[in-house]
Chain A
Amino acid sequence: MNVLSKYTMGKYCMAAIIMMSLSGCVTSTVQQIRETQTSMTDGDSVVILGRRNRPSQAEAELDFIDCVAKNVGSGNNGLQVVSEQQFVDALFPWFEPRTAPLNTNELPELLQQPLLAERLRQIGLKYLVWVEGSTQRSAQSGSLSCTATPGGAGCFGFLTWDSDSSYEASIWDTHTAKTAGRVSTDASGTSYIPAIVIPIPIIARVQSSACNGLANQLKQFVQSG
């Protein structure tokens, strides 16, 4: 029994290792432009917000914003991150799609409101990061068909597609009401699903790669300026 369970465990581990090794290749680049010096002290926090002022193809997905916020807040050099929903609720109605400031010129007027300034002080907000961009699937080709009969089921074919992620984060310093800089990330990769009876997905985790790249660069940007 013990041997069997070990054997089963081994099979699952092997399957997991194979699946992980079957991830498609992703090419990613990260760039940054610094405009002012940055630093973080104890009690300072950042918020990662998606730009949602108008319907556009470049509106970042909610899970991407969550992913960046989670990665910026984790690890050895993790920052204190306020969640997007918590932030927009705490500062309602000033960061809604129709009312949010579109550039740093609008910040001083906003921060002059005593109640708002007090709320920001309570949160300890130092940097406000606006993220724009999206992941798009492009150039899909091939075909895959699956059939189920009383005798069994199986798939046959080959499917491939390219994915491109492009995101840009604009970092605003709420203390100086100026843009501290910009960080952008681009990632692309090709995913495949060959199928001879069993389909084997080889997925390029493009969005995940873009998220990690952007989050790591953001952490470095605000801490080592």
Chain B
Amino acid sequence: MNTYQGTPTCTLPLLLKRSLLCVFLGMLLSGCVAVKKVKIEGVFPIPVMPKTPIHLGIHLDDELLNYTHKESIDKYGDWEISIGPVQQALFTNLSHGVFQEFTMVKENASAEVDGVLKPNISEVQLSLPNQTRSNYYEVWIRYKFELFDRSGNLVGDWVLPAYGKSNKNNYGSSSKGLQAAAIAASRDAMAFFSINFAREPVVAKWLGAGMPLVPAKIVPAKKIPAKIDPAKTVPAEVLATEQNSKQQDSVQENSIPTPSLGTPPKTDGKQTDTPQTGEDSA
């Protein structure tokens, strides 16, 4: 009869060693593949400055409110910076300081306001001190702002690049350092926006014109290819006229609207909601 007479004191440490090794290896592997998550939090100050006399709608869409930047940095792992959730607090406080009145709206058009501002984040970049051989964590955020009239027609847009940095000597971990740099970039965006909003050429022209309605974008109809019929060819003079009108349309689409394209400036503090064409105002 074979009986196993192994002593428990020999087998138990072996099991322990193996399980500890597994745990250690697991931790090592998880450390290698873990995504480092950074969330921007904090209270943003209200700008101290003369308010722009406007009642603006602020449209923060889900894309902005859920914006997360993911970046894989060679040798330094995967990073995920959650910038979206703080945008609501950021733009609320910003609007309190910059605009005479503001309303959070769900669409680009609202009859209750003079116009609607829709911020977007178009690009985010980050760098770590080891990458740049400096002492700084750096974050760049590129905002794109779209300004709509109250009918939802685009008045114009502009880009605002923001930059934030934090000294690695002030922060114990790379996550904390990047978080501080991202907060600094958000504050930079707020600061630059609040100082330059009324000076932005698109905004300045629109405000100067009394916040008029702009013509809706003309969507060209689909061209249906047809056989050329010599009998139905367009005379050269007519063609030239058509081409000129097309050029004018494209200029209207791309350029900042001038006062002549919209409604006349306010006289009694109220504006009509009726969209007006260029012919009406002319």
Q: Which residues of A contact B (CB under 8 A)?
A: 52, 55, 57, 59, 61-63, 88-94, 96-99, 113, 115-116, 119, 134
Contact = CB atoms under 8 A, between A and B. Distances in A.
Nearest to B187: A96
B167 A61 contact: yes
B134 A94 contact: no
A55 B50 contact: no
Nearest to B167: A59
B219 interface: no
Contact of A93 (B167, B170, B190): B190
Contacts, number: 60
Contacts of A92: 45-48, 97, 187, 190-191
B169 interface: yes
Contact of B170 (A55, A62, A94, A119): A62
Contact of A94 (B48, B169, B184): B48
A2 B136 CA distance: 53
Given A55-B134, A55-B138, A97 B45 contact: no
B191 A61 contact: no
A117 B136 CA distance: 34
Listed residue (B50, B167, B192, B194) with the most chain A CB atoms within 10 angstroms of its CB: B167
Contacts of B48: 90-94, 115-116, 119
A93 B47 contact: yes
Contacts of A134: 169
A134 B184 CA distance: 20
Contact of B191 (A52, A62, A96, A116): A96
Nearest to B51: A115
Interface residues of B, number: 24
Interface of B: 45-50, 97, 134-136, 138, 163, 165, 167, 169-170, 184, 187-188, 190-192, 194-195
Given A89-B45, A92-B191, A115 B50 contact: yes
14 contacts: A52-B165, A59-B167, A61-B169, A61-B170, A62-B167, A90-B45, A92-B45, A92-B191, A94-B48, A97-B165, A97-B184, A113-B49, A115-B49, A134-B169
Q: Is the interface of A mostly helix, strand, loop or mixed?
A: loop
A185 B188 CA distance: 31
Contacts of A63: 170
Contacts of A55: 134-136, 138, 165
A98 B163 contact: yes
A55 B49 CA distance: 28
Given A61-B170, A98-B163, A115-B48, A93 B195 contact: yes
Chain A CB count within 10 A is highest, among B47, B191, B192, for B191
Nearest to B194: A93
A74 B273 CA distance: 62
A98 B195 CA distance: 11
Contacts of A115: 48-50
